[in-house]
Amino acid sequence: MVFSSLTFLFLFLPAVIACYYLLPGIRAKNAVLCLFSLLFYAWGEPVYVLLMAASILLNYLAGLGMERFPRRKKLLLLLALLFNLGAIGVFKYAGFFLSGVSSLFALNLPVLRIALPIGISFYTFQILSYVIDVYHGRVAAQRSLLSLATYITMFPQLVAGPIVRYDTVREELRRRCVTVNDFAEGLCRFFFGLGKKVLIANQMALAADAVFDAAAVPSSAVLWIGALCYAMQIYYDFSGYSDMAIGMGRMFGFHFSENFNYPYIADSVTDFWRRWHISLSVWFREYVYIPLGGNRCSVLRHIFNMLVVWLLTGLWHGAAWNFVLWGLYYGLLLILEKHVLGRVLPKIPKAVRRIVTFLLALIGWVIFRVENLSALGRCLAGLFSFDFSGTGAFFLSSSNALSPLLLLPVALLGCLPWKHRLEKRFGHSAAFGALKLVFAFLLWIASVAMLLGESYNPFIYFRF
């Protein structure tokens, strides 16, 4: 079940809101969220609820054990890490690893095909943040199994983030309240996210799929347009989902951290990753990069740290070689910025830096989108073939690709921080608040109308 489905919008979400607000007391409300979250997770693959339940119980006991038996806390942390990383390793990476070993050593190993539990990359990282923070004494172990289960299973951010660290919501798990203004703000944020997903991302996906799923590699111009459409698709898809998650969290009294901050206006690759999927970047910085030594080390050691982090970042997104290349691509770009261009970049006009960063991001999205390595090589070569022939004919021949291009200017405009500036200037005005709510409601109507009329509703990060 995805947020942009009619089942979720008209059955699941109204039911959980009604039960949540009808039952008094924080424990009852947590129980409602936990039970509905398990139902949400079990909707498509009920067997994996058992894996999640085992993970909750094991990490709950590990947290309590670290405080009660401090001399054994390293062992308990190791056991928790082995279970959590072992689970994601088996379900997400075992087939990829066996396939790689089989190809490398010319072995005839069996092909391992295991269905990937939805959202396992997201909720595993949340669980890891909890046990690691308890180990280091940053947070106290959660005494309530229900509260910890609510944190881990919470459906708004269960399958696609943002990755919520336990420390962010630990107080709200035991005490929170929702005002009418909070609920209205959350609902408005949800409607905006739904509009981004259904009205823009789904349409951009049609054009991107037409380009990258074509039988033959299109011309250079078509590939760049396809990369641009995919950049819009993945941004509106993922940021829209994050908006919906943050909005629903607000409706239930939780304040999740922002996950996007207009990444396509970034003026460097470093700046891009401060703005894109912020919760993932923060997680890798806190739990991998800094423990490895960060930048407080020699140049060679820092390069090593960066490559490790970005290799893991690529693999986190998927068990395929193109994700490994995508991670290393960004790792090398960031190393280049830090150790080669550090003094030069500030002297380059910001407009030029923004254009170059955006073009580098487009190339990165091509690597991310095309999983077949031979097809990826042809696409990357095609980007720089400077062949502009047949561009119009390509899109005219595809009934699905032409109409989304008309929406492309709107999508590009939405990547600019005009909404943020309007809210900063007029946010305290009651008239502006009412206008924003009306606009959000219109987005809701348009989104539902689109969902009723079309069945194409992909979600990129659902598989992670």
Q: Residue 236: CB partners within 8 Å, gap ≥ 6?
A: 196, 197, 200, 201, 204, 411, 414
Cis peptide before 162 (omega within 30 of 0): yes
Report the range of poorest mean pLDDT among 63-77, 159-173, 239-253.
Answer: 159-173
Q: For residues 5, 117, 17 and 6, what is the CA-based torsion angle, rounded to 10 degrees?
A: 10
Residue-level pLDDT at 119: 82
Q: What is the mean pLDDT of residues 427-455?
A: 85
- Please say whether the beta carbons of 203 and 403 come within 8 A: yes
- What's the pLDDT score for residue 328? 95
Looking at residue 275, its pLDDT comes to 96
pLDDT band at residue 456 using 50, 70 and 90 as cut-offs: low
Q: Which pLDDT score is estimated for 304? A: 95
> How would you write the chain as a 3-class SS string?
CCCCCHHHHHHHHHHHHHHHHHCCCHHHHHHHHHHHHHHHHHCCCCCHHHHHHHHHHHHHHHHHHHHHCHHHHHHHHHHHHHHHHHHHHHHHHHHHHHHHHHHHCCCCCCCCCCCCCCCHHHHHHHHHHHHHHHHCCCCCCCCCHHHHHHHHHCHHHCCCCCCCCHHHHHHHHHCCCCCHHHHHHHHHHHHHHHHHHHHHHHHHHHHHHHHHCCCCCCCHHHHHHHHHHHHHHHHHHHHHHHHHHHHHHHHCCCCCCCCCCCHHHCCCHHHHHHHCCHHHHHHHHHHHHHHHCCCCCCHHHHHHHHHHHHHHHHHHHCCCHHHHHHHHHHHHHHHHHHHCCCCCHHHCCHHHHHHHHHHHHHHHHHHHHCCCHHHHHHHHHHHCCCCCCCHHHHHHHCCCCHHHHHHHHHHHHHCCCHHHHHHHHHCCCHHHHHHHHHHHHHHHHHHHHHHHHCCCCCCHHHHC
Query: Per-residue pLDDT averaged across 331-339, rounded?
Result: 94
Instruction: Give the pLDDT mean for 114-126.
Output: 84
Q: Is the pLDDT of residue 464 over 60?
A: no
Q: How far from 314 is each of 236, 307, 320, 328, CA to CA, in Å?
A: 20, 10, 9, 7
What's the confidence (pLDDT) of residue 31? Answer: 95
| Residue 150 pLDDT | 94
CA atoms of 302 and 280, how far apart (whole Å): 20
Mean pLDDT of 261-290: 95
Tell me whether residue 274 is exposed, middle or buried, using C-beta atoms within 10 angstroms of its C-beta: 0 to 12, 13 to 18, 19 or more.
Answer: middle
Higher pLDDT, 143 or 47: 143
Q: Is the pLDDT of residue 462 over 80?
A: no
% of the chain surpassing 70 pLDDT: 93
Q: Which of 49-53, 322-326, 365-369 has the lowest mean pLDDT?
A: 49-53
pLDDT band at 224 (very low <50, low <70, confident <90, very high): very high
- Residues 256-272: tens digit of each pLDDT: 999 999 999 999 999 99
**Per-residue model confidence (pLDDT) at position 105:** 63
pLDDT over threshold 70, residue 289: yes
Condensed to tens digits (0 to 9), the pLDDT of residues 128-139 reads 999 999 999 999
Please determine, for residue 273, whether its predicted confidence score (pLDDT) is greater than 90.
yes
pLDDT score at 387 = 77
* 416, HSE (Cβ side, Cα atoms, 13 Å): 7
Mean pLDDT, residues 229-240 taken together: 95
pLDDT at 455: 64
Reported confidence tier of residue 109, pLDDT bands at 50, 70, 90: low
Please report the pLDDT score of residue 239 as a whole number.
94
Active site residue 302: no
Over the range 348-365, which residues count as b (16 or more CB within 10 Å of their CB) and which as e?
A: eeeeebbeebbebbbbbb
Nearest to 335 by CA among 276, 266, 252, 270: 270
| 317: its two tokens | 């997104």
Q: Which of 136, 255, 277, 317 is catalytic?
A: 317
Structure-token pair, residue 188: 């408005």
- pLDDT, one tens digit per residue, over 341-386 is 888 888 899 999 999 999 999 999 999 999 999 999 999 999 998 8
Residue 436: the pLDDT is 85
Which of 90-104, 155-169, 288-302 is the most confident on average? 288-302
Lowest mean pLDDT among 195-209, 214-228, 281-295, 387-401: 387-401
Assign 45 a pLDDT band (cuts: 50, 70, 90). Answer: confident
- Per the CB < 8 A criterion, the answer to whether 459 and 237 are in contact is yes
> Can you give the pLDDT at residue 99?
75
pLDDT tier for residue 327 given thresholds of 50, 70 and 90: very high
* 8 A C-beta contact, residue 20 and residue 252: yes
pLDDT of residue 37: 93
Q: What is the pLDDT of residue 342?
A: 81
Q: What digits encode the pLDDT tens for the residues 386-440? A: 877 777 777 766 666 667 788 889 999 999 998 888 888 877 778 888 888 889 9
Separation of first and last alpha carbons in the chain: 15
Question: Looking at residue 398, what is its pLDDT?
Answer: 65
| Integer Cα distance of 102 and 95 in angstroms | 10
**How high is the mean pLDDT of the chain?**
89
